[in-house]
Structures are given as structure tokens and as C-alpha cells.
Amino acid sequence: MNPYEELANAIVLQAVKDFVPTYRAWQKYKAIDTKKMDEKEKKRYDVKLKKLKEEFEAVQQFFGSDWYYTLTSVDHRLILRKLNKEAGIE
């Protein structure tokens, strides 16, 4: 395997490793009870929740992107199916 293939594989592997923890962090944070938060805390909470959601969506969208298919020929649906199952999404 040449260095470019190793780099491509490392990028895809990192996205695989990031998927479940990123999803779980977003879900855990989303489950926080905000009823007792004051307005300032609620704004900070909303900003962080939005950031976590965007991070997960970015990882999720990587699979199936042009960039993904530049790096690998592995069908993204196979990987996403396994990752969704591991994360408890399906």
C-alpha cells in the first residue's frame, strides 16, 4: 500500500471512529433537563447542543460525499448501516 492509500484509509477510519462517540455525545447532551436553567445557561446549552449536532451531521455527511468516494470505493451504506446499529440509531 502506498502512502496516499494509507492516508486515505486513515481518514476514513477516523470518521468511522468518530461516528458513534459524536452521536452519543450529542444525544447525551440533548437529554439534559433545561427546565431549571436560567436564560444565560440556556443560551450556552443551545449553542453547545447546536455544535454537537453539527459535528455529528458533518461526520454522517462525510460518508457518501464526493470526498469519501475519492478516498475509497467502499459503499457508504454498508458502513453507515453498521455504525447506525452500533450507535443505536436504527
Residue corresponding to grid cell 448501516: 81
Percentage of the chain beyond pLDDT 90 is 98
Give domain limits for the chain: 3-87
Mean pLDDT confidence for 10-26: 98
Q: Tell me, what's the pLDDT at 10?
A: 97
H-state helical runs in the chain: 3-30, 39-62, 66-71, 76-87
What's this model's pTM, rounded to 2 decimal places? 0.90
Mean pLDDT confidence for 9-16: 97
Quick one: which of 11, 27, 10 has its CA closest to 59? 11
**What does pLDDT average to over the chain?**
96
pLDDT digits (tens, 9 = 90+) for 67-85: 999 999 999 999 999 999 9
Centroid of chain to Cα 32:
19
Q: Tell me, what's the pLDDT at 1?
A: 81
| Residue 84: Cβ-neighbour burial (10 angstroms; 0-12, 13-18, 19+) | middle
